[in-house]
């Protein structure tokens, strides 16, 4: 079983508009609500692939109830840890020119007892791969407290990423900006090597339309898509994490994992909402992704 961990759950609200103009009045053509947070998105992608997956998440208030109801309706197995604060909302505005604007609330503060209950729920699960994703809400501990020496993926940023390295995650997945922020290095390969020295088993860097860079104990690879896609990029990184978790759970070789990750990321860009994937594109693209070994 793959277990995803989302301490800072959200109800994702997505607006589709003709165009976004600062200071203007906008009328949305479409409004959609769904359970979100990065770990929830990962679980949704894995569920679509037919994987055995469980989402562990926090939920509080009426918004948290809406999150729980949406997961149940989607058939996604979930272990929901109740909290006293109201679950946050995240807002995505999709404009017809392809721009994507996000507004992310910080999330409710967790009491110490709430964080401990959440950590206990995570530790109680015997996961083949544990996926810890997203920001940490105020009052939370470190992701290192949850990793526990098992196969794991850490997808977060800033101080949460640096502190999480103490748990020695099998893989971390920053994007290029997040990697530069925590290392101060502009060269992604050198920065990834720095995170490996700090405790990460492997580092997979999202390079946007240029694909993925993987720096691992067994080699360094660059994987590039066959074409640049236009669409909703908000769930692309979560689809990469889903592919990494799937590959780790099956002990696949890194080039095969990266082909799936790039193909699934593109499939997410074509999906209308974070967590959706275009499975037809995914299956077509896997054989077209170019994976090249890099000299160290």
Task: List the domain range (segments joined by +) for residue 132.
Answer: 2-294
CB contact at 8 A, 67 and 87: yes
**Is 238 an active-site residue?**
yes
CATH of the domain at 29: 3.40.1190.20
Residue 46, token pair as written in the block: 């894995």
- C-alpha count within 13 angstroms, C-beta hemisphere, residue 193: 10
Q: How confident is the model at residue 296 (pLDDT cuts 50, 70, 90)?
A: low
Q: Express each pLDDT in 61-76 by its tens digit.
A: 999 999 999 999 999 9
Average pLDDT over residues 150-154: 96
Q: How confident is the model at residue 138 (pLDDT cuts 50, 70, 90)?
A: very high
Residues 6+ apart with CB under 8 A from 223: 211, 212, 214, 255, 258, 259, 261, 262, 289, 290, 291, 292
Q: How confident is the model at residue 148 (pLDDT cuts 50, 70, 90)?
A: confident
Residue 31, token pair as written in the block: 């409004």
The rounded mean pLDDT for the chain is 95
**Number of neighbours of residue 59 by Cβ within 10 angstroms:** 24
Least confident residue range of 21-30, 48-57, 74-83, 254-263: 21-30
Q: How confident is the model at residue 22 (pLDDT cuts 50, 70, 90)?
A: confident
Burial 112-128 (b: 16+ CB within 10 A, else e): eebbeebbebbeeeebb
The single residue of 70, 155, 238, 276 carrying the catalytic annotation is: 238
CB contact at 8 A, 146 and 5: yes
Q: How confident is the model at residue 99 (pLDDT cuts 50, 70, 90)?
A: confident
Q: How far is CA 157 from CA 34, 68, 91, 148, 266, in A?
A: 23, 26, 20, 20, 22
Strands 152-155 and 129-133: parallel
- C-alpha count within 13 angstroms, C-beta hemisphere, residue 16: 11
CB contact at 8 A, 76 and 44: yes
Q: How many domains does the chain have?
A: 1
Average pLDDT over residues 18-42: 91
Q: How confident is the model at residue 98 (pLDDT cuts 50, 70, 90)?
A: confident
Query: What are φ and ψ of residue 248, in 5° steps?
Result: -65, -40
Q: How confident is the model at residue 149 (pLDDT cuts 50, 70, 90)?
A: confident
Q: Express each pLDDT in 234-276 by its tens digit.
A: 889 999 999 999 999 999 999 999 999 999 999 999 988 888 9
Q: How confident is the model at residue 152 (pLDDT cuts 50, 70, 90)?
A: very high
């Amino acid at each position: 079983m793959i277990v995803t961990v989302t301490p800072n759950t959200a109800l994702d609200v997505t607006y589709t508009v003709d165009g976004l103009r600062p200071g203007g009045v906008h009328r949305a053509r479409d409004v959609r609500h769904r359970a979100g947070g990065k770990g929830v998105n990962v679980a949704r992608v894995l569920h679509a692939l037919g994987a055995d997956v469980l989402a562990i998440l926090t939920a509080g208030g009426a918004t948290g109830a809406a999150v729980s109801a949406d997961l149940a309706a989607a058939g996604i197995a979930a272990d929901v840890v109740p909290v006293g604060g109201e679950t946050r909302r995240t807002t995505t505005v999709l404009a017809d020119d392809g721009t994507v604007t996000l507004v992310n609330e910080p999330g409710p503060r967790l009491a110490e007892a709430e964080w401990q209950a959440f950590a206990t729920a995570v530790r109680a699960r015997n996961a083949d791969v544990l996926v810890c994703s997203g920001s940490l809400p105020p009052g939370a501990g470190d992701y290192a407290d949850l990793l526990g020496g098992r196969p794991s993926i850490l997808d977060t940023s800033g101080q949460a990423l640096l502190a999480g390295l103490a748990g020695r995650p099998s893989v971390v997945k920053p994007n290029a900006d997040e990697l530069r922020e925590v290392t101060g290095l502009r060269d992604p390969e050198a920065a990834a090597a720095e995170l490996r020295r700090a405790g990460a088993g492997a580092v997979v860097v999202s390079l946007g339309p240029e694909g993925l860079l993987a720096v691992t104990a067994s080699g360094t690879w660059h994987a590039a898509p066959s074409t640049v896609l236009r669409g909703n990029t908000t769930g692309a990184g979560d689809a990469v994490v889903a592919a990494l978790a799937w590959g780790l759970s099956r002990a696949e070789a890194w080039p095969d994992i990266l082909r799936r990750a790039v193909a699934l990321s593109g499939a997410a860009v074509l999906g209308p909402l974070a967590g959706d994937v275009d499975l037809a594109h995914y299956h077509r693209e896997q054989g077209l992704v170019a994976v090249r070994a890099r000299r160290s």
